[in-house]
Every structure is written in C-alpha cells, then in structure tokens.
Structure 1
Amino acid sequence: MNTTKNILSNDVEIKGSLKFSNDLVIDGKIEGEISSDGSLTIGENAHIKGEVAVKAVTVFGKVEGNITVTERCELKSNSELLGDVKARTLAIEEGATFLGKSIVGAAAATKAGSDKPAQKPAGGQSSSQPELVKANK
C-alpha cells in the first residue's frame, strides 16, 4: 500500500474549504473548513480558523474552531485550541492550552452534528461548560 503524506508549508495561506486523502501536514494558515477521512498534523507555525473534521489530528500550532475526529485528537505541548473537541480519544500534553468543551468516548463521533444536549458517553467524559485547561511545565 502506498501512503502519501502531503505538506502545506508555513508560507501557504488558504481561504476556503480543504479536502484531502491520506495524511496532510499543515504549517501555514487556513481559514475555512478542513475535512478528510485521513490524518492531519497541524504544525508549530500553523494557524487554523475553522472547523476540522478528520479521522485523527495532532496539533502543534493554533486552532480556532471545533475539532471532530473519529479516532484520536492530540494536543501537543505549546499548542492552542480555542474550540470544542469530539473524539474517541483525547490526549493533552503539559503546556497545551485548551478552551472549550470536550466529548470523549466511543459515542463522540456519533454525536457530531447532533443538536441534542451532550450526554456522557460510556467510558468517556463530557462537560457542558467551556473550561480553560492550561498545563504548566
């Protein structure tokens, strides 16, 4: 199987919808919706303004918008997320900033797009109020 990793460098700026297959690394600025059934890496220099809906995401940079993933969301040290997360698993490293709500667990992916109030998924966690999480070094 041939897997391709696409890269958008730090001098790239895009306004509009972005769809891709396989894996994508973004180190530039994106304003708009990002969607894929692949994995996304948001680099240290990246600044995303908009909704992200992918299979898995690793955040090193800044995201202003909601993230919905069917698998894993990782917020690395020094990353910033100003928005909500829906994911099967969520990992937040020390030094990351997260301001928003999270729905974590097997039912999180099915809750995407639901207008009903979030209920606590089995084996997961849910919060109804935005909260600031800042892990100090």
Structure 2
Amino acid sequence: MYSRHGKPTRLRLRAAQKQGKESGLRGERLDLESDTPSSPERLESLEDLENARKKGLFSKVNDRFQDALQSGRGGDRVRNAAVEAGPDPGVTADDLAIRRAKNVTAQRMIVPEGVIIEGSMTSGSETEISGKIDGDVSVEGRLLLGASALVTGNVRATFCKIEGLVDGKVECSQELELGKTGRLNGDVLSGKSFYMAGQVFGNVTTGGMLHIAESAKLQGDVRVRRLTIEEGGVFNGSCVMRMPSQRKEGEN
C-alpha cells in the first residue's frame, strides 16, 4: 500500500526492517535491489576470479621480464651449433672450431718465469717468455725473451728483443735487439738491423746496420751493410761489408 504522496506505508517499512534484522542475525548481507541475500558460493567464485586475474597479470609481467633479460644478454653469448652449421649437414665440429678461431682476436701469449715447456712452441701473436722452452720457438709477431728466459732451440720471429739465453740459431725478419743480460750461442740473421749490448758467440748476418754497444761482445764473423762499434765494445772476427747490389742478389 502507498500513501497519497507515493511513499511506502508504515506496514511496508516495518516489513523491510524486520527482514534486515533477520538477515543480520543470520550473518547474511541484504541486497537492497533484489531483497535476496548473496550466497557464499558466489563469494568464493568471485575470489577465484580475482586470484586468477592476479596470477595472469603476474605471468605476463614475468614473461616480459624474461624476454627483456634474454634480449639484454645478446645473441652472441650462447652459440647454437645447429645455427652456426647452417643447412649444410656435412659441417663437422672441427669446421665450427676453425670458424670460431678465425673470429677470435689475437691476444698476447705469456710464458711466466718458472714454467718449463718441453717441445717446440708456435704463436701467432705477440709473445713474452720468461720461462724455459726446450725446443724451437716460432712467433708471427713480436717476441720478448726476459732475463730469466732460456730457449734450447732455434728462435724465429718478426721483431725480437732478447734479454735471456738462447742456445740455438736466431732469425728475425725485421729488427733484433739483444740486451745487456742477453746471450746467443749460435748464428744470428736479422733482416733490417741488429743492436747488441750482450754477448754473441756465432756469425752475424744482417741486411742493415749492426750496432755493437760498449757492453757487447761478439765472437764470430759478420756480414753487414753498416757496422758501428762503440768504445769498449769487443769484436773478434772478420767483417764483410755488403753492398746494396749484393743485398738484392742475396734476397733473390
């Protein structure tokens, strides 16, 4: 029943209040729109949906984080042999190793003092030796033999500085320098020049200048284009001066 002004009557209001009290006693929530209480099953389903939504959000965030992490590492960190091999099934592991070796930048090789290598040694980069090599040494680059270095074999390099002992033949295609503590027991061949401040017991041949410092001692014959001997330097042997024409004939 409604009053004259369109408002619920007192009977309708009392019924609503009574229903609210009963719902409060039962611990239920009163739905003002439907006037029916919500069921616990509906609340649980809403919580499940909310949890599922949160899990889905965290999963997306984690996936994006993993993608960003992998892209930040770069593609060259972990190499895939199948990708490197390509479509050619005949590529072997040795071929892949050769490919990778060509892409590696040459670094400096160091043989520290106290290390003994039995056998010949070959290097394609700058090399520093302070230990003992029982064999030949071949370096495609600059070679430095420290004061504690001992080589019992032939030595070949592009540029060479020797401060240790070499018991064998020394060949240097460019410049050769022998320090005060250096000693060579064998013939010496230098392409451009040879500066010696140590001791040489063998014949010396160079296409350029031989410079004998005041602390140097040379026991052997020399074949050079120019010869310089400082006061105090010792040279025991014969000397043949090479002319430019003779140098060209010797090189050919």
Bucket of the pairwise TM-score, normalised by the shorter protein: 0.7 to 0.9
Distance 2:194 2:146 in 1: 18
Distance 2:187 2:168 in 1: 7
User: Number of residue pairs matched?
Assistant: 113
> Hey, which of these two has a bigger chunk of strand by percent?
1
Residues 97 and 10 of structure 1, relative CA distance in 2, 3 Å threshold: same
How far is the alpha carbon of 1:124 from its aligned partner? 5.0
Q: One-letter code of the match for 1:90?
A: F
Q: Please give the residue correspondences for 1:115-126 in structure 2 after superposition, counting only pairs within 5 Å.
A: 120=223, 123=225
Q: Quick one: higher RCO (CA 8 Å, sep 6+), 1 or 2?
A: 1
Q: Which residue of 1 aligns with 2:117?
A: 14
Secondary structure, aligned partner of 2:114: coil
Q: Which residue of 2 aligns with 1:90?
A: 194
Q: Does 1:104 align with 2:206?
A: yes
Q: Does 1:60 align with 2:179?
A: no
Distance 2:226 2:156 in 1: 20
List per-residue Cα deviations over 1:54-98 (Å, max 9, x = no partner): 1111001111100011001110012111111100210012xx111
2:140 equivalent among 34, 37, 43:
37
Moved over 4 A (4+): none
Q: What TM-score, normalized to structure 1?
A: 0.73
How far is the alpha carbon of 1:4 from its aligned partner? 2.5
Residues 99 and 21 of structure 1, relative CA distance in 2, 3 Å threshold: same
Extract unaligned runs of 5+ from structure 2.
Answer: 1-104, 209-221, 228-233, 237-252
Structure with bigger gyration radius: 2
Q: Which residue of 1 aligns with 2:127?
A: 24
List per-residue Cα deviations over 1:20-54 (Å, max 9, x = no partner): 01200000000111112211100011111100111
Q: What TM-score, normalized to structure 2?
A: 0.41
Distance 2:178 2:235 in 1: 11
CA contact (8 A) 1:98 1:133 kept: no
Extract unaligned runs of 5+ from structure 1.
Answer: 107-118, 126-131
Residues 85 and 120 of structure 1, relative CA distance in 2, 3 Å threshold: closer
Residues 75 and 133 of structure 1, relative CA distance in 2, 3 Å threshold: farther
Supply the RMSD in Å over aligned alpha carbons.
2.4
CA contact (8 A) 1:56 1:73 kept: yes
Distance 2:137 2:204 in 1: 19
